[in-house]
Amino acid sequence: MHDYVGVPRLTSLRLSPDGGRLVGVVQALNPDGKSYGTALWEIPLDGRRPYRLTRSLKGEAGAEFTAEGDVLFGSRRPDPTVKDPDDEVSALWLLPAAGGEARQVASRPGGIDGFATGGPTVVFASGVLPGDESTEAERRKARKDAGISAILHEGYPVRYWDHDLGPGETRLFAGTVGEDRLADVRDLTPEPGKALTNASYEVTPDGATAIATWAAVLPGGELRSDLVAIEIAGGGARRVLASEDGHDFEGPLAVSPDGRRVACVRSSHADTRTIPEVTLWIVDLATGEGHAAGGELWPSEIRWAPDSASLYVVADHRGRRPVFRVPADGSEPVRLTADDAAYSAVNVAPGGTLYALRSGVDRAAGPVRITLEGAAGTVEELASPAPELEPPGTLTEVTATADDGAEIRAWLVLPEGASADNPAPLLLWVHGGPLSSWNDWSWRWNPWIMAAHGYAVLLPDPCLSTGYGPEMIRRGWANWGPRTHADLMAITDAALEVPGIDPGRTAAMGGSFGGYMANWIAGHTDRFRAIVTHASLWHLEQFAGTTDASMYWQREFGEPGGELYDTLSPHRSLEKITTPMLVIHGDKDYRVPIGEGLRLWWDLQRSGVEAKFLYFPDENHWVLKPGNAVVWYETVLAFLAQHVLGQEWKRPESLS
């Protein structure tokens, strides 16, 4: 396990405007072995070995090229030109294309949270305290010196995933690259309130306009995301490009090379009977007129082709995540990558060649070149700064027919040596989301760790999974537990028919929505020997009012107190639970707050269910610290060994 958490990971790619340089961000263990750091690496396009570009204790991330080919990145590294620099907030740095040391080009008292480039312009986001901007640094220091951490909220939301929102408001700033610092830096969005919280934004190729999502605060705690154009040269004048009641216009955003259109994702607000409709949406920057493209594809990445006539879209598709070419006129999309891989970080060279990360359930991410030939693409691996891993087993697929006639498919991980004479115990591992799919390598939820310990792992895509069209989502909408449970039991039965699987030794596990389903399974069947539930929903109405985005879940389940909260809540079946359970939760989880784990643990205790509670005071929805990740896997494996393999309970060494 210690070797596993120490493996370097390639997390992103960025191609220079001329298509000549490819830079990636690599995450690796810091020297202390207790945390991860990041660095920029050059990935030569001619087959040479990658080499490291940056090195600092604080790390570097978010690489972006300027029009001149310099590399911008964010970092909390100290500025060597400043006495007593503030290394608690991220600043913007530039690494010259001609060589030499990186220099800090922009900083803000509230840090720099992201940036985008277009032409000579750099736009970046920063949190700003309300009030006089010229006194912000002094006011921040005064709060810190006085020991004040309180935040006064006057609207919703107040938290996001694992961090508190406020006391500052996110604003966009713009400037141009000068000899030493960004020149003519100006605030484009004074007093935006919460409009730019977690916003997506891009810059037009001429650098004249920023395109951004803009949150509109609605009555009753509701939000709507509009699309706006902010004129950089016009003093930040803002005009609405797309706004529609009951719809969000969201990222990812992509501005066409000719500067005439922007592509985004348009999604409708759902209700208890209507699923969200999600589509690629193309907006004319001059008129605001928009239209859909890409059919039923649910875009996770969008890039324009050099001729501005089509787009390259990454979307889930039947347990894969291919690259599609989508004509901008709305005609049918064409799949370009035919393999079983999951693609991400797509970049488009001026001639149309694509560079991307390719990964999969059985493959960690590595860089590739996709050469387009007619209606297909030829994929060529590039040398990677991260090592290639060899999974300890094989990957296959299984399918089943659910009781309503729908086809359910899943990936099945088989450990080495599994056979009819040596059958492996089976782990049913339910994905989160619920609008998600098992189609990619996961450093956090890795089935190959389990395979290395002799388990077969079933990774199913039941109802609510993406990549199977709207009907698959509609089947489970506002019907989470019953419909998903039926799908999972059908695909589990099919997997148990595979030679090399032991039907008498099974367990179920899952995180987030998968944890909800683990809890539901525990209360609706005793077929499994053990159940592991991580960051799980237990009391549905309690969760819906304490999560970081209550308005989203209210759309699906209705007003608090409604019937669905009662019929779909796993806690209503507490008295039926007899299977031993391992409960896992992090205290900094704001998506599924710790109250869910605490309530589940208490309910199991008072009911006499055999259970253990693995609690992380400093982790969020995931478990990200290397040492805690080791603890997570060791504890899960020890719990499964006890109840599935029949071994004596042995407390993990990492916890002794």
Residue 205, pLDDT above cutoff 90: yes
What tens digit of pLDDT does each residue of 241-279 get? Answer: 999 999 999 999 999 999 999 999 999 999 999 999 999
144: Cβ–Cβ under 8 A, 6 or more apart, which residues?
Answer: none
Strands 407-415 and 393-401: antiparallel
What tens digit of pLDDT does each residue of 173-192 get? Answer: 999 998 889 999 999 999 99
Query: How many whole angstroms separate alpha carbon 615 and alpha carbon 597?
Result: 9
Please check whether residue 522 is in contact with residue 546, taking contact to mean a CB–CB distance below 8 angstroms: no
pLDDT of residue 233: 86
pLDDT of residue 235: 82
Strands 363-373 and 163-164: unpaired
pLDDT of residue 346: 98
What distances in angstroms separate CA 1 from CA 435, 449, 637, 654, one per listed residue?
30, 8, 11, 11
Locate all alpha helices (DSSP H) within 81-199, ordered by sequence. 136-145
Please check whether residue 524 is in contact with residue 485, taking contact to mean a CB–CB distance below 8 angstroms: yes
DSSP 42-92: E--TTSPPPEE----SS-EEEEEE-TTS-EEEEE-PPPTTSSS---SS-EE
Instruction: Please give the radius of gyration of the chain, using alpha carbons only, rounded to the nearest integer.
Output: 25
What tens digit of pLDDT does each residue of 618-643 get? Answer: 999 999 999 999 999 999 999 999 99
Query: How many whole angstroms separate alpha carbon 43 and alpha carbon 383?
Result: 7
- The H or E element containing residue 331 is none
What tens digit of pLDDT does each residue of 575-625 get? Answer: 999 999 999 999 999 999 999 999 999 999 999 999 999 999 999 999 999
Kindly state the percentage of the chain with pLDDT values over 90: 95
Query: How many whole angstroms separate alpha carbon 209 and alpha carbon 204?
Result: 6
Kindly state the percentage of the chain with pLDDT values over 70: 100
pLDDT of residue 375: 75
Residue 269: phi and psi, rounded to 5, are: -75, 130
SS3 state of residue 594: helix
Query: How many whole angstroms separate alpha carbon 496 and alpha carbon 418?
Result: 13
What distances in angstroms separate CA 281 from CA 106, 391, 479, 597, one per listed residue?
34, 39, 29, 39
DSSP 198-222: T--EEE-TTSSEEEEEEEEE-GGG-
pLDDT of residue 234: 80
State the Cα angle at 552 between 549 and 554, rounded to 5°: 110
Please check whether residue 481 is in contact with residue 568, taking contact to mean a CB–CB distance below 8 angstroms: yes
What tens digit of pLDDT does each residue of 412-421 get? Answer: 999 999 999 9
Whose CA is closest to 509, among 574, 464, 455, 587?
A: 455
Q: Which two tokens stand for residue 173?
A: 């700033």
What is the biggest distance separating any 2 CA atoms in the chain, rounded to whole angstroms? 75
Q: Which two tokens stand for residue 403?
A: 């009781």
Residue 291: phi and psi, rounded to 5, are: -150, 160
Give the domains, in start order, of the chain with CATH numbers: 54-146+157-243 (no CATH), 393-655 (3.40.50.1820)
Strands 501-511 and 424-430: parallel
Query: How many whole angstroms separate alpha carbon 452 and alpha carbon 454?
Result: 6
Query: How many whole angstroms separate alpha carbon 289 and alpha carbon 299?
Result: 20
Confidence of residue 553 (pLDDT cuts 50, 70, 90): very high
238 CB neighbour count, 10 Å cutoff = 17
Please check whether residue 23 is in contact with residue 41, taking contact to mean a CB–CB distance below 8 angstroms: yes
Residue 495's Cβ-side half-sphere holds a number of Cα atoms within 13 Å equal to 35
Residue with tokens 């690494």: 95
What tens digit of pLDDT does each residue of 383-422 get? Answer: 999 999 999 999 999 999 999 999 999 999 999 999 999 9
Query: How many whole angstroms separate alpha carbon 462 and alpha carbon 465?
Result: 6
User: Mean pLDDT, to the nearest integer, of 55-77?
Assistant: 95
SS3 state of residue 342: strand
What tens digit of pLDDT does each residue of 129-156 get? Answer: 988 888 999 999 999 999 999 999 999 9
